[in-house]
A and B are shown apart, each in its own frame.
Chain A
Amino acid sequence: MSSVLEIKNLTIDYNGIKAIENLNLDFKRGKFYTILGPNGAGKSTLLKAISKNIDIMKGSIFIEAINIKDLKIKNLAKKISMVPQETSIDFDLMGEEIVLMGRIPHLKRLEKEGSNDLSIVREAMKKTNTLHLRNRSVTKMSGGEKQRIIVARALAQEAGIMLLDEPVSQLDLHNQIEIMNIIRNLVNKEGLTAICVLHDINLAVNYSDEILIMKSGSLISMGKPVDIIRQDIIEETYGISVKIIDNPITNKPFIIHVNI
């Protein structure tokens, strides 16, 4: 299988502290990856590095064999889209206006959005169940609606890789599942590569093809959920006591925290 994203010997210094140290990773096309790990593990820093929002100290990142160092912001946006944890907008931007921003990397400065762009936007809104929010101001949207609009915008970029930084941690259970289903569907049907930082281990197990566990800027373990979510790894990573049982419905590992 071809790799879409390769990280080689990556080291990142963050205010004098090594946020990521000598990290090597290889992501394949059309898979759902989840990054787990305690706070300060370097998960968000890694996403920032891939999206060129932080300086790389050592090592390099390749997207489809191109070093991101050589990619302009606009060209990077054609290959990678991003969904943040939360978006706060104080202005009355309409749903469609926000999704349309996803077409910016494909447009010249003075070029007007054409019918092709509008139909891509429409399609993205259909897939995220946001068509009805077309003419609604973002200031009047709920957290879940807003996050689906942001996913639609990322989708309108037509980038092969989508980075998601704790995309559901501000949402209620219903909206969490809805967002996760949308992403999973995009991976299955459109060959999207999703790289998602999560905190909920059970959610990660249910949706991911592969899980990466990070701690203190290094990779602890990477592989299929069944192989990775083991009592020793989780206890070592998070410093808590857990029990792992077989989820009777999915037959995947299910984690229960035990307070002692």
Chain B
Amino acid sequence: MEESRRKGKKLLIFGFLLLAVTLSVSISLGGADMSIIDSLKALFFLGDNSQEKIIWAIRLPRILTAMITGGGLAMVGAVFQGLFRNPMADPFVLGISSGAALGATIAIVLGVSIPIIGFTGISIFAFAGALLTMITIFMIARARGSLDSTTLLLSGIALNFFSSSIIYLFMFLRYDKMKQILMWTFGSFSTSSWEKLIMIIPVILVGMIVLRLFARDLNGIMTGETQAKSFGVDVDRARIAIILTSTFMIGVLVATSGIIGFVGLMIPHLLRLVIGADFKKLLPLSFMYGSLFLLACDTLARVAVKPAELPIGAITALFGAPFFIFLLIRKKRDENHV
């Protein structure tokens, strides 16, 4: 355990360094190229006025949104894997992101724009869509008596299809809203702004704290729910707190930036290979490396085919889908060994 703690510390320091480098590069790249030095100067109000404007009004909110989204998705992915006791669980794979996007689509089509306690109608609907999908998964689990990989993946596929087909129907029926809806299904940070950031930061921050509070419970649940209960984990209470928190996080993230898949699958998995499965270490590191990964992907999306932009969800899927197949093969092989 001391060893994995040391590795965790090393990963944290390494992550900070890598983040500093990626940030500096990312902030200097874009429509108007500037040197890293110039962009850092502009960041601290020491440079050219027009460069300051680009950095502060356009690039910084986008970079921060990508980072918070990546961190939040990776954390929720890690939590889902523990909660479902399955290394392949992830809000995208389970269809929860699609459910949230469906909620967002309905809000767009209905033109719901009344904000409730600071959240836009789109966020509230996205949360409701995510929550309904989550409840459906648990109902399937209860009906089948267990939540093995096959059940989990098949119900994820079914729910994904269901939500996507309704989204496509809406797009077909409402050409005028098509572009706006399409943005949700592919994911994009191009409309990031400080206003949106101010909405997601508190949700993700509170979410991080709550999930961290339940890290020990999650460790227990990973070994089986009945067992966790036998050594004092209040599983029912923990599960409700964790589901509500992470679903709300997903709802808000999808409402701001659309469906971005596989971050929650890849990042926690790779981290576990190094530091093990203990949630106390896994959660903060997932946030850090999720941020880093999505920032790198979004930078690529911004600059790869300038002046056009690639959809971020397509880029993460490009990495994620092969990784998912790798996990599937490895899992099958392990099962055959036992």
Q: A: which residues have CB within 8 A of B?
A: 51-53, 72-74, 76-78, 80-82, 84, 87-94, 96-98, 101-102, 104-105, 107, 109-110, 134-135, 137, 139, 150, 153-154, 157
Bound CA span A96–B232, Å: 18
Q: Check: B10 CB closer than 8 A to any chain A CB.
A: no
A92-B272, A93-B219 are contacts. A81–B277 as well, Cβ < 8 Å? Answer: no
Q: A93-B223, A94-B276, A97-B278 are contacts. A109–B216 as well, Cβ < 8 Å? A: yes
Pair B234/A74 contact, Cβ less than 8 Å: yes
Contact of B213 among A74, A80, A81, A110 (CB under 8 A): A110
* Complex contact B229–A89 (CB within 8 A): no
B165 located at the interface, meaning its Cβ lies under 8 Å from any Cβ of chain A in the complex: no
Q: Is B176 close to A, CB under 8 A? A: no
Q: Which of B319-338 contact A (CB under 8 A)?
A: 334
List, sorted by A's number, 19 A–B pairs whose CB atoms are closer than 8 Å. Answer: A53-B229, A72-B234, A73-B233, A84-B226, A90-B87, A91-B82, A92-B277, A93-B219, A94-B4, A94-B276, A96-B1, A97-B219, A97-B277, A97-B278, A104-B232, A135-B1, A137-B276, A139-B334, A157-B231
Contact for B272 among A72, A88, A91, CB less than 8 A: A91
- Map CB proximity to A onto B234-245 as digits: 1 under 8 Å, 0 otherwise: 100000000000
Contacts A91-B277, A93-B277, A101-B219 given; indicate if A80 touches B230 (C-beta within 8 A). Answer: yes
Interface centre among A52, A97, A98, A107 (most CB of B within 10 A): A97
In the bound complex, residues from chain B placing their C-beta under 8 Å from that of A110 are 213
* Chain A residues positioned under 8 Å from B277 (CB to CB): 91-93, 97
A89 to nearest B CB, angstroms? Answer: 5
B224 at the interface (CB under 8 A from A): yes
A92 touching B276 by the CB < 8 A rule?
yes
| Residue pair A93, B230 in contact (C-beta under 8 Å) | no
B147 CB, nearest partner CB in chain A, Å: 12
- Tell me if B86 is interfacial: C-beta within 8 Å of chain A: yes
Instruction: Determine how close the nearest CB of chain B comes to the CB of A158; give it in whole angstroms.
Output: 11
Task: Decide: A105 and B231 in contact? CB cutoff 8 A.
Answer: yes
Q: Name the B residues within 8 Å of A91 (CB-CB).
A: 81-82, 87, 222, 272, 277
Asked if residues A81 and B230 are in contact (CB atoms below 8 Å), the reply is yes
In the docked arrangement, what's the CA distance between A91 and B271, Å? 12
Is B195 in the interface zone, CB < 8 Å from A? no
Q: Which of B226-262 contact A (CB under 8 A)?
A: 226-227, 229-234
Q: Say whether chain B's binding surface is mostly helix, strand, loop, or mixed.
A: helix
Q: What residue of chain A has the Cβ atom nearest to residue B88's Cβ? A: A90
Interface residues of B in 1-45 (CB under 8 A from A): 1, 3-4
Residues of B within 8 A of A (CB): 1, 3-4, 81-82, 85-87, 213, 216, 219-220, 222-224, 226-227, 229-234, 272-273, 276-278, 334
The answer to whether residues A98 and B230 also contact, given A104-B216, A109-B213 and a CB cut-off of 8 A, is no
Chain A positions within 8 Å of B227 at CB level: 82, 84, 87, 150
Q: Are B231 and A81 in contact (CB under 8 A)?
A: yes
Tell me how far the C-beta of A200 lies from the nearest C-beta in chain B, rounded to whole angstroms: 23
Closest to A156 in B: B231
CB-nearest residue of chain A relative to B276?
A: A92
Do the beta carbons of A102 and B231 come within 8 Å of each other? yes
Q: CA A102 – CA B87 in complex, angstroms?
A: 24
What chain A residues lie within 8 Å of B233 (beta carbons)?
A: 73, 104
Q: Which residues of chain B are near A81, meaning CB under 8 Å? A: 230-231
Is B230 within 8 A of A82, CB to CB? yes
Give A89's nearest chain B residue, CB to CB.
B223
**Are B232's CB and A73's CB within 8 A?**
yes
- Shortest Cβ distance from residue A132 to the other chain B in the assembled complex, whole angstroms: 14
- Among A73, A80, A88, A153, point to the contact of B234 (Cβ < 8 A): A73
Contacts of B220 in A (CB 8 A): 101, 104
Residues from chain B with a CB closer than 8 A to the CB of A77 are: 229-232
Across the interface, name the chain A residue whose C-beta is closest to B235. A73
Q: With A87-B223, A109-B213 as given contacts, are A94 and B1 in contact (CB-CB < 8 Å)?
A: yes
Q: How far is the CB of B201 from chain A (nearest CB, A)?
A: 23
A82 to B231, CA, bound (A): 8
**Chain A residue nearest to B229 in the complex (CB):** A73
Which of B3, B223, B234 is most buried by chain A, counting CB atoms within 10 A of its CB?
B223
Nearest opposing residue in chain A for B224, CB measure: A87
Task: Judge whether B216 and A134 touch: CB under 8 Å.
Answer: no
CA–CA, A150 and B81, complex, Å: 22
Q: With contacts A77-B232, A82-B227, A97-B276 known, is A89 near B216, CB below 8 A? A: no
Contact with A135, one of B3, B87, B223 (Cβ below 8 angstroms): B3
Q: Which residue of A lies closest to B214 (CB)?
A: A109
With a CB–CB cut-off of 8 A, which chain B residues contact A87? 223-224, 227
Q: Which residues of B contact A150 (CB under 8 A)?
A: 227
Chain A positions within 8 Å of B1 at CB level: 94, 96-97, 134-135
User: When the two chains form their complex, are residues B276 and A98 in contact, meaning their CB atoms are under 8 A apart?
Assistant: no
Nearest-neighbour CB distance to chain B for A52, whole angstroms, equals 8
CA distance A146 to B155 in the complex (A): 31
Chain B contacts for A105, CB-based, 8 A: 231-232
Residue of B nearest to A75 (CB): B232
Q: Which residue on chain B has the smallest CB distance to residue A74?
A: B232
Q: How far is the CA of A52 from the CA of B232 in the complex (A)?
A: 11
Closest to B278 in A: A97
A53 to B223, CA, bound (A): 16
State the Cβ distance, B312 to closest chain A Cβ, in Å.
Answer: 29
